[in-house]
């Protein structure tokens, strides 16, 4: 393979890349969001500077991807933490678990999503929307919300989903030290809210050493939403370089 051909490949194996070279579109992306209050000291231990915490809140989310171009359907779950950065309010993606390897690999390599393999699910059971996350054979999280109890204003639903998202991009060098270490920013684009609801909700988190969601304990459920969308993801932009000690250019 010629050098110019190698330079055009985004990932390995060269003859069968781990993910397609495309920007995916998400159709019928379904969210279950549970916002809860947690221990502020636990939050401060995991949110990197220069991000700032206003309230000790966490959003547990389960997302069922009805159809994703290039990847097909899959499900994802994780935790997002409301933060501030240079006067802008957004969310820091703390951890994401999903059941699709190409989406996991591309999310980590092309962008900076903190994705690892897990077994999430989202379904309706006896009048409740149920979101779960398993790691291996063990349950890590169970979320329930009353199914379509109340309509949620679609503008409010859009505002929940389109806040800027901050992530940490870390790529090690061959000496074991970080070669790239940046705070990056992205957001959802081309969003259509197709349905949105709210209702009573509960969330249980279970201790697991390799999926430590329970390190951010549930003290009080603040709000919940169930939202159906079509959308796309914008590219990422670096906003802070930890190796240089300042803003990225």
193-230: per-residue pLDDT in tens?
999 999 999 999 999 999 999 999 999 999 999 999 99
- pLDDT for residue 21: 87
**β 237-241/25-37 pair status:** unpaired
The pTM assigned to this predicted structure is 0.94
Contact 146, 139 (CB under 8 A): no
For 50-91, write each residue's pLDDT tens digit: 999 989 999 999 999 999 999 999 999 999 999 999 999 999
Contact 9, 196 (CB under 8 A): no
- pLDDT for residue 26: 97
Return contacts of 163-166, CB within 8 angstroms, 24+ apart. Answer: 163/89, 163/90, 163/91, 163/187, 164/85, 164/88, 164/89, 164/90, 164/91, 165/80, 165/90, 165/91, 165/92, 165/93, 166/51, 166/83, 166/85, 166/90, 166/91, 166/92, 166/93, 166/239
Cα–Cα distance for residue pair 174/176, rounded to 1 Å: 5
Residue 179 has pLDDT above 90, yes or no: yes
What residues are annotated to the active site? 115
The per-residue pLDDT of the chain, averaged, comes to 96
Mean pLDDT of 126-142: 98
Percentage of the chain exceeding pLDDT 90: 91
Q: How far is CA 4 from the centre of its chain?
A: 34
- pLDDT for residue 38: 98
22 band by pLDDT with thresholds 50, 70 and 90: confident
Residue 246 has pLDDT above 90, yes or no: no
- pLDDT for residue 248: 56
Residue 245 has pLDDT above 80, yes or no: no
**β 115-117/88-98 pair status:** parallel
- pLDDT for residue 194: 98
Q: Going by C-beta distance under 8 Å and a sequence separation of 6 or more, which residues neighbour residue 218?
A: 36, 37, 38, 203, 204, 205
Block residue for tokens 């989903």: 161
Mark out the alpha helices in the chain (DSSP H runs): 3-7, 40-44, 101-109, 154-161
247 band by pLDDT with thresholds 50, 70 and 90: low
Mean pLDDT of 149-176: 96
Cα–Cα distance for residue pair 113/3, rounded to 1 Å: 29
Contact 38, 203 (CB under 8 A): no
Mean pLDDT of 16-24: 90
């Amino acid at each position: 393979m010629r050098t110019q051909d190698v330079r055009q490949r985004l990932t390995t194996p060269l003859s069968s890349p781990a993910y397609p070279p495309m920007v995916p579109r998400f159709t019928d992306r379904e969210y279950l969001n549970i916002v809860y209050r947690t221990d502020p000291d636990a939050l401060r231990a995991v949110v990197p500077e220069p991000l700032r915490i206003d309230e000790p809140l966490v959003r547990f989310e389960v997302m069922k991807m009805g159809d994703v171009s290039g990847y097909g359907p899959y499900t994802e779950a994780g935790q997002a933490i409301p933060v501030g950065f240079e006067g802008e309010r957004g969310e820091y993606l703390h951890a994401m678990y999903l059941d699709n390897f190409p989406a996991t690999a591309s999310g980590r390599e092309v962008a900076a999503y903190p994705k690892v393999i897990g077994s999430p699910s989202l379904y309706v059971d006896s009048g409740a929307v149920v979101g779960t996350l398993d790691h291996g054979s063990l349950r890590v999280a169970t979320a329930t919300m009353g199914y379509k109890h109340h309509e949620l204003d679609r503008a409010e639903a859009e505002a929940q989903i389109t806040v800027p998202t901050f992530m940490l991009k870390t790529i090690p060098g061959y000496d074991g030290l970080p070669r790239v270490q940046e705070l990056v920013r992205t957001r959802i684009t081309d969003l259509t809210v197709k349905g949105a609801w709210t209702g009573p909700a509960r969330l249980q988190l279970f201790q697991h050493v390799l999926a430590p969601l329970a390190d951010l304990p549930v003290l009080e459920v603040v709000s919940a939403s169930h939202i159906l969308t079509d959308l796309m993801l914008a590219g990422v932009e670096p906003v802070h370089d930890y190796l240089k000690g300042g803003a990225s250019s």
